[in-house]
């Protein structure tokens, strides 16, 4: 079961019973205590539940939970579609860099290739891939950023300079006609080094990123493929075509599959 599905089940239970213990989560979802605690941390960070001794409880503003549930459902579907298409690009025995992003996390969750080497500084992605015995995980060490669930600092870039990868997957906070945007300057520095150390850089982002804004820019020159769930705005599409960046759109893939199924 994916983490998003577990979070929705926990939220549904808390809505009905006002509280839920760690043992309740383990029993209902059939997960370990460590997994239950990680799910609790995720929900507390989002502000939709409050932590109690032994579990979680309903916050005063119940509408926050409903809102988060709706966003989680909407985002999960699109991110999972994007993640699956991206995951299918990974071949057996490849070395792959995974950046910190919820959409990139969906890629990691759906990887089916065998004997890959995964490189990341995302705590959540390390947790996802650590359960697989058929791959190796290399963690880019640094200082722990507890809120964003990542390791950061100059040592991350230093380690990247020693590595070589077949593919890198990155997300984006915003996508404009002149590039991808991120909230922190260090984000762009890390992503540039990931691109330099990889044969192919693949950006994964849902359609909401085309109307979002952020501060620090990564030029499209670093990007080889963009995978998204809806049609790319024309002004951005023209730039991507001019730079020979491949656009993969989930909806188009779904239509092609349906047409192939009809023909068969």
Q: Each residue of 175-197: pLDDT tens digit?
A: 999 999 998 888 899 999 999 99
Percent of the chain with pLDDT over 70: 88
Which one is predicted more confidently, 2 or 20? 20
Q: Which of 189, 225, 190, 185 is nearest to 204 (CA)?
A: 225
Per-residue pLDDT, 89: 97
Which range is least confidently modeled, 76-80, 115-119, 220-224?
76-80
Question: Which residues sit opposite 152 in a β-bridge?
Answer: 143
Per-residue pLDDT, 258: 47
CATH topology of domain 3-60: Arc Repressor Mutant, subunit A (1.10.10)
The counts of H helices and E strands in the chain are 10, 15
Per-residue pLDDT, 61: 44
Q: Which residues of 22-47 are buried (b: 16+ CB within 10 A; e: fewer)?
A: eebbbeebebeeebbebbbebbeeee
> Over 70: is that where the pLDDT of 250 sits?
yes
Q: CA distances (Å), 3 to each of 25, 33, 44, 233, 257, in order?
A: 12, 14, 14, 31, 27
Q: Which of 10, 59, 55, 15 is nearest to 37 (CA)?
A: 55
Question: Is pTM, for the whole model, over 0.75?
Answer: no
**Domain 81-263 in the same topology as domain 3-60:** no
Q: Domain 81-263: give its CATH architecture.
A: 3-Layer(aba) Sandwich (3.40)
The whole-number average pLDDT for the span 78-93 is 95
With contact defined as beta carbons under 8 Å apart, do 155 and 141 qualify? yes
**N-to-C CA span, the chain:** 32
> Over 90: is that where the pLDDT of 66 sits?
no
> Over 50: is that where the pLDDT of 118 sits?
yes
Q: Where are the domains of the chain?
A: 3-60, 81-263
Which range is least confidently modeled, 69-73, 89-93, 124-128, 152-156?
69-73
Which range is least confidently modeled, 9-13, 53-57, 95-99, 121-125?
53-57
- Average per-residue pLDDT for the chain: 87
Which one is predicted more confidently, 61 or 175? 175
Which one is predicted more confidently, 245 or 54? 245
């Amino acid at each position: 079961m994916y983490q998003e599905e577990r979070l929705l089940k926990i939220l549904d239970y808390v809505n009905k019973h006002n509280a839920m213990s760690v043992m309740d989560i383990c029993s209902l979802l059939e997960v370990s205590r460590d997994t239950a605690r990680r799910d609790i941390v995720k929900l507390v960070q989002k502000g939709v539940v409050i932590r109690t001794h032994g579990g979680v409880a309903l916050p005063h503003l119940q509408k926050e939970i409903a809102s988060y549930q709706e966003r989680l459902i909407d985002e999960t579907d699109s991110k999972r579609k994007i993640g699956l298409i991206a995951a299918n690009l990974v071949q057996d025995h490849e070395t792959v860099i995974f950046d910190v992003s919820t959409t990139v996390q969906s890629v990691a969750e759906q990887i089916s290739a065998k004997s890959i080497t995964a490189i990341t500084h995302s705590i959540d992605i390390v947790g996802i891939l650590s359960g697989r015995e058929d791959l190796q995980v290399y963690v880019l060490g640094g200082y722990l950023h507890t809120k964003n669930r990542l390791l950061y600092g100059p040592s991350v870039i230093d380690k990247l300079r020693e590595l070589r990868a077949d593919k890198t997957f990155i997300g984006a906070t915003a996508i404009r006609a002149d590039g991808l945007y991120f909230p922190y300057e260090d984000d762009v520095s890390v992503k540039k080094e990931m691109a330099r150390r990889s044969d192919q850089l693949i950006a994964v982002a849902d359609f909401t990123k085309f109307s979002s804004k952020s501060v620090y820019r990564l030029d499209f020159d670093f990007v080889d493929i963009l995978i998204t769930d809806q049609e790319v705005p024309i002004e951005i599409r023209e730039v991507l075509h001019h730079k020979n960046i491949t656009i993969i759109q989930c909806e188009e893939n779904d239509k092609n599959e349906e047409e192939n199924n009809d023909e068969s």
